[in-house]
Structure 1
C-alpha cells in the first residue's frame, strides 16, 4: 500500500509550503535593508519577492504537485509570465549592478544611453524568442534569419548615415567633453549646453552651433575646461619704450590681482616680450569670464598706468593741468580749512589721479602714506565680513576724504572702491602733518573722522552678525 509520503507530489508540496514563507520573510528583510541604504539593488529584490518567487512556486505546484502536463495552456501561460518576469529581472539587475552603481569617471558611467537601449532591445528579443521557442514550441529560427537578412540590406542602404551615427556614438562613449565645458572647434567656439546621440549643441554667445558628433569625431578641437582649474586668459599690452619694464610688470600684476573674475588661490603673471610689448596671464575659473575679465582689465590698466606715470599705447597723459589742480584745491579747501594763499602754497605738493568704476582706492588693513580727497565722483566705503562679503558703510562724495589714518600710522578699518569714474587729489603724509601742525582744529577734525569711521565699521559688522 502506497503512503502519502511515497506520493510523487509530497516532497514538492512540502518544499513549497515551507520554502516559500521562509524565502518571502528573508527577501522582505533584505529588501527593507536595501531601502534603508538607498541601494540600487532594492528593485531587483522587490521583483524576486513579489513576482518571481510566487510564480515559481505556482509553476512547481502545477507541474510537480498536481502533475499537470507542461503542454497544457494554463501551465504555458504561467511559464510565459514567469519567463517575462525573469527577463525584466535580468534587465533590472544588469542595469543596477553595472551602470547605476558605477563610480564616476569609469566607462560604465560614460556609456551613452543609446548603447543601453540597443542592448536592452537585443536581450528582450532573445528572451522573447526563447520563451516562444521552449514554452510554445514556435519556430523562431526563420524569423531571426529574416531579420538578419533585412538588417544587412538596410545597413548597406544606409551605411553612410549609420557610419555617422556610430562615429558620434564613439565620441559620446569616450566623452572628451561634458555639459558646461568650453570647446574651440573649426566651426566656432562656445559652451556645451546639450549632447545627444546625433549632435552637440554649443552656445557661442551669438547663437547656437549644432555640431554633428561625426564631425567632432573626425576633427580636432580644444577643450578649455580640461583639465579643470587650468584656464588662463592672456592679454597683450603696449607701453612706451622708455617705461621701466619692472614698473610696468608690477602695475599690470597689481591690476590683474584686483579682478573679481580671478580664480581663487591663483596669482596673475606678466612678462616683457621685448620692445614695447607685454603679456599678462590671468587665471580664470571658466572661459565664460574671458570677455568680462579682458575688458575690465584693459579699462583698469588705462587708469592705473596714468596714475603710475606710465604710457599705455605710448600715449601721453595730459589730464593733470595747473587749472585742474587749482579747481580741485578749491573744492577740498573747506575740508582742509584752506584760504587762497594756503591753496597756492599747497599747489606744488598735490597730485590729480583718476580711478575707473570698480577700482579700489584703499584696502582694509593697509597703512596709507597719503590722504585721498575726492574731487569728482562717488566712492563706496565697505567693511569685509568673515566670509568675504562686503558690507556697505557709507558713500563718499566730492569733498570727502580717505586715508586719514596716515597721520597716526594705523591701518584703515574699511575698504573703498569707485562707484563711477572718480577724480581725486593726493597729498602725501608730510604735507598733511605740516597743515595739522599749523591748524590744531584740523587735527581734531581728522581725529573725529578716524573714530567715526571705526565706529561705523563696528556697527556695520555687528548688524551683519559678525
Structure 2
C-alpha cells in the first residue's frame, strides 16, 4: 500500500499550500509599491493577486491533487474562469504599458478611445471563442461565418455613415487641434471647447458652432494656435492715393503699438501693398485676441487718420469748421482771458481733434508738445505706481485741460485716456508760450493747474499704497 508521502497528489498539495501564501504576500508588496509610485501597472498586479493566482491554485488542486479528469464539468468551469481572467489581464497589461504610460504627443496618446474599445471588444470575442473551442469543444466556425456575412451586409448598407464616422475618428487620431485652440474653418472661427468622436464644438463668441468631424476631415482650416507662442494678425486698410506712405505707416504703427492686446515687448510693422492699401502686422499674445484687437485697431485708426489729415478709405474729414472752432475758443475765453484778437490768432493755429474710446491722449514720461483743452467728453487721468501698475488719479470734464507741463518743458507724470469719444482743442507749445508772453497772468494759472495735478497724483499713490 502506497504511503501518503509517496502519493503524487501530496507534493502538489504541499506546493500549493506553501506557494500560494508566499506568492500572495509578494504580490501584495509589489502592488503597494506600484501604488505609491502611481504606476498604471498596479491594476494588472491586483488582477493577478486577487483572481488569476487563486484560480490557478484551485485548478492545480483539482487536476493534480484530486486527480479529477480534465473533461469534468468542474474543471472546465474553473478553466473557463481562469482563461477569461488571463484574457482580461493581457488586455489590462497592454493598456497600462502601451497607452496609459504613453508620452504626450505620441501616436499612442492620440489614438481615440473608441478605437481602443473596438479593438478590446474584438480581442475579447476572439479569446472567448478560443476558450469555448479548446475547453468546451464548441464549433465557433459557423458563428464567425455568420458574423462575417452580417458585417458585409451592414457595411454595404451603411457605408456612407460608417465612412463619415471613420473619417471623423481619423481626425481625432491625427489631432490637428486640441481643446482651447483657436481655429478658422470655412463655417466658423473661434475656440475649440469640446471634441468627441462625432463632432467638434467651437465657441465663436456669439454662440456654439457644432461641426461634424467628417466635415472637418474633408475641409481645409487653419489652427491659429499652432505653432504656440506669439501670433501675428495682418490687417489691410486703404488710404487716399495722395497720402504720403511714410505718414500713413507712421500713424498705423503708432496705433497698433498702443493696442492693449499687443504682445509684450513686440512692435508692429506696416508696409504698402499697392493701390493705396497698407498691411499692418500686429503681434498678439494669442489668437484669441484677434477679434478684439482688430476691432480696436480699426476703431482707433478712424480717429487717428483724421487727426493726421490722412484719408482713410479715401474719405475727407469735414469736422473742423469755423463755427466749431469759434464755439470751442469761446468756451475757454474765461480760462485763457481771450479777447477778439486772441481768438482770431488762435483760430489760425489751434486745431480740433477727436479721440475714440480708450485711446491714449497723453503718455507718461514724455514732454507734451501741446496743451489740450476738453471741449466735449471725459478724459481719465492715471499714473504709474512703484510696481508699474496704473493708478487712477481723476476724471477730467468739459473745460479742463491736460499737458500743462509742456510750458515748463518737463515730462508728464500722468497718462490720459479717452472715456468714450472726446473732442479737444489743441494748441501747440510755441503758440501757448506766445500767448503767455502777452498775458503774464496765465503763467500763474498754469502753475496752479500743475500743482493741483501733482497733489492729485500724490494722493492717488498714497491711497493705492
Q: Could you say which TM-score interval applies, normalised by the shorter chain? A: 0.7 to 0.9
Question: C-alpha deviations, 1:118-139, integer Å up to 9, x for none?
Answer: 1011111122222323333333
Structure 1 stretch displaced more, 353-362 or 149-158: 149-158
* Distance in structure 2 (CA, Å) of the matches to 1:69 and 1:387: 86
Aligned ranges 1:250-329 → 2 under 5 Å: 250-285=250-285, 288-329=288-329
Q: 2:454 aligns with which of 451, 456, 465?
A: 451
* Distance in structure 2 (CA, Å) of the matches to 1:387 and 1:29: 55
Match of 1:380 in 2: 380
Is 1:422 the counterpart of 2:422? The answer is yes
Match of 1:138 in 2: 138
Match of 1:78 in 2: 78
Question: C-alpha deviations, 1:151-202, integer Å up to 9, x for none?
Answer: 233333433433343333333322233344455555x233345443344455
Question: SS at the partner of 1:353?
Answer: strand
Structure 1 stretch displaced more, 49-58 or 104-113: 49-58
Question: SS at the partner of 1:421?
Answer: strand
* Distance in structure 2 (CA, Å) of the matches to 1:427 and 1:65: 110
Aligned ranges 1:4-83 → 2 under 5 Å: 5-83=5-83
Aligned ranges 1:27-426 → 2 under 5 Å: 27-185=27-185, 188-191=187-190, 192-202=192-202, 211-229=211-229, 231-285=231-285, 288-336=288-336, 343=343, 346-384=346-384, 390-426=390-426
CA contact (8 A) 2:356 2:418 kept: yes
Q: How many residues align?
A: 461
CA contact (8 A) 1:354 1:423 kept: yes
* Distance in structure 2 (CA, Å) of the matches to 1:334 and 1:6: 127
Match of 2:444 in 1: 441
- Using the size of structure 2 for normalisation, the TM-score is 0.86
Q: CA deviation at 1:398?
A: 1.5
- Give RMSD over aligned pairs: 3.2
Question: SS at the partner of 1:304?
Answer: helix
Question: SS at the partner of 1:420?
Answer: strand
Question: C-alpha deviations, 1:92-148, integer Å up to 9, x for none?
Answer: 222222222222221111112221111011111122222323333333233223222
CA contact (8 A) 1:335 1:400 kept: no
Q: CA deviation at 1:44?
A: 2.2
Structure 1 stretch displaced more, 216-225 or 361-370: 216-225
* Distance in structure 1 (CA, Å) of the matches to 2:240 and 2:157: 67
- Closer, same or farther in 2 for the Cα pair 1:59/1:387, shift >3 Å? farther
Question: SS at the partner of 1:377?
Answer: strand
Where do 5+ consecutive residues of structure 2 fail to align? Answer: none
CA contact (8 A) 1:393 1:460 kept: no
Question: SS at the partner of 1:262?
Answer: coil
CA contact (8 A) 2:394 2:456 kept: no
Question: SS at the partner of 1:426?
Answer: strand
CA contact (8 A) 1:165 1:214 kept: yes
CA contact (8 A) 2:241 2:276 kept: yes
CA contact (8 A) 2:392 2:460 kept: no
- Closer, same or farther in 2 for the Cα pair 1:270/1:30, shift >3 Å? same
Question: C-alpha deviations, 1:300-320, integer Å up to 9, x for none?
Answer: 111101211222233332222
CA contact (8 A) 1:87 1:127 kept: yes
Structure 1 stretch displaced more, 280-289 or 241-250: 280-289
- Closer, same or farther in 2 for the Cα pair 1:336/1:25, shift >3 Å? farther
Q: CA deviation at 1:394?
A: 2.3
CA contact (8 A) 2:353 2:423 kept: yes
* Distance in structure 2 (CA, Å) of the matches to 1:435 and 1:22: 104
CA contact (8 A) 1:44 1:92 kept: yes
Where do 5+ consecutive residues of structure 1 fail to align? Answer: none
- Closer, same or farther in 2 for the Cα pair 1:13/1:235, shift >3 Å? same
